[in-house]
A and B are shown apart, each in its own frame.
Chain A
Amino acid sequence: AQSVTQLGSHVSVSEGALVLLRCNYSSSVPPYLFWYVQYPNQGLQLLLKYTSAATLVKGINGFEAEFKKSETSFHLTKPSAHMSDAAEYFCAVSDQNFGNEKLTFGTGTRLTIIP
Chain B
Amino acid sequence: ETGVTQTPRHLVMGMTNKKSLKCEQHLGHNAMYWYKQSAKKPLELMFVYNFKEQTENNSVPSRFSPECPNSSHLFLHLHTLQPEDSALYLCASSHGTGSLSQFFGPGTRLTVL
User: Range of interface residues on chain A?
Assistant: 20 to 34
Contact segment of A15-23, A41-49, A57-65 = A41-49
Tell me, yes or no, whether B99 is within 8 Å of chain A by CB: yes
Contact residues, B61-92 vs A (CB, 8 A): 90, 92
Q: Encode contact with A along B25-50: 1 for CB under 8 Å, 0 otherwise.
A: 00000000000000011110100000
B residues in contact with A98, CB < 8 Å:
98
Closest A residue to B44 by beta carbon equals A105
Residue of B nearest to A108 (CB): B42
Would you give the shortest CB distance from B4 to chain A, in whole angstroms? 7
Contact yes or no, B98 A99, CB < 8 A? yes
With both beta carbons as reference points, the residue of chain B lying nearest to A41 in the complex is identified as B106
Tell me, yes or no, whether B97 is within 8 Å of chain A by CB: yes
Which A residues contact B (CB, under 8 angstroms)?
4, 9, 32, 34, 36, 41-46, 49, 51, 90, 92, 94, 98-108
